[in-house]
A = this chain, B = another copy of it.
Amino acid sequence: MSEARFTIVGAGSMGLLFAAKLALSGHALEVEVGVKRREHKEALIAEGIKLHDGNVDEGKDKQPAIVHPAIGLLTELGQAHTLGQVHFIVLTVKQSAFNPEFVREIRAMMGPESWVVCMQNGIGHVELLELEIPRERILLGITTEGAMKSSDVETWHTGKGETSLGAVVYNPASPALAAQKKLAECLERAGFRTFLSKDITRRVWQKLVINSVINPLTAILQVRNGQLPEIPSSLQLMRELFDEAMAMAAALQLKLDTELWEQLLEVCRKTAGNRSSMLQDLQSGRPTEIEAITGGLVREAGKMGMTLQTHQTVYRLVKALEGSATGRD
């Protein structure tokens, strides 16, 4: 019996990165990857995951590591459970994939020692999972690892980051804590710096605030992250969005880092040459994460009777840009 079993759900840049690094970390782990499309499954079985270190632009000549974890459609995974073996179902798909059918498929994968680990941006996914899955079985992960996909089977580890893990509600007596420790141990061994957090919600919100500023603005203005604070009126918009989101966090009694604004500017500097995922999604005609990020904020505000006017406007603009992707002129 292997030490732990991982079902990585989703084979985007991050899913492939986690699956490959975990599989490469030794025989103590059993790793399988769940995908949605049959062609994707077949491509991954035929070619394996190709993992590159560095940026797509820089490393075209280097040989990737090639890994062959088990691959299956979501409906084919997680059937057999081994008693005493901890099982992590790591969800790396976008929140927009969390429809009722998907949640039922995840539920069907779970055995007595399964944990669902959410790696999503934004907020609102726990509520969607809870329709079928007990809240105590859900862990949250926030990562700043950088990854980019160059094909269905090829992923690039573009930047080392940190991963924080925590339970939706912190309870030191819960078996969730032992599960988190085991998960952190596996991730560390696979090469990911990992921390346990007693207040993961705070970290979720900090990432949410940063994403809610950078993602929609870069997508609407069609600029790279580093340009955002360089344009005076764009910097004003950043500050406006930031202040509204912070007011919302304060209304929810969340104590976010006092220097979060400086961290936000630092993210823009460090990722200056990157196109945000939302800009990439819009430019490729894919749905964006606007519902999970800005939509999540706007809806939370609505529940409190607040209106985040600037977030609401950029939310509608990004929705309109998604809607007009085929008709842009």
Chain A residues within CB distance 8 Å of chain B: 220-224, 227, 231-234, 236-237, 240, 275, 279, 309-310, 313-317, 319-321, 323-324, 327-329
Contact = CB atoms under 8 A, between A and B. Distances in A.
A126 to B, nearest CB: 26
A234 B320 contact: yes
B224 A319 contact: no
Contacts of A329: 222-224, 275, 279
A328 B234 CA distance: 13
B327 A240 contact: no
A295 B59 CA distance: 47
A42 B74 CA distance: 72
A328 B236 contact: no
23 contacts: A221-B317, A221-B321, A222-B329, A223-B324, A224-B327, A227-B327, A231-B323, A231-B324, A233-B316, A233-B317, A233-B320, A234-B316, A234-B320, A237-B313, A237-B316, A237-B317, A240-B316, A275-B329, A309-B309, A309-B310, A309-B313, A310-B313, A317-B317
A232 B323 contact: yes
Given A222-B328, A223-B328, A313-B310, A233 B279 contact: no
Given A310-B313, A313-B240, A323 B222 contact: no
A66 B222 CA distance: 43
B310 A234 contact: no
Given A309-B310, A329-B279, A319 B220 contact: no
A221 B282 CA distance: 12
A236 to B, nearest CB: 5
A234 B324 CA distance: 10
Contact of A324 (B221, B240, B314): B221
Pairs A-B, 4 closest by C-beta atoms: A233-B319, A234-B320, A309-B309, A233-B316
Nearest to A235: B320
Nearest to A241: B313
A319 B231 CA distance: 9
Contacts of A240: 313, 316
A234 B317 CA distance: 7
Nearest to A283: B329
Contacts of A315: 233
Contacts of A321: 221
Contacts of A237: 313, 316-317, 320
Given A313-B313, A314-B313, A327 B223 contact: yes
Nearest to A240: B313
A237 B233 CA distance: 20
Contacts of A319: 232-233
Contacts of A328: 221-223
A311 to B, nearest CB: 10
A268 B214 CA distance: 32
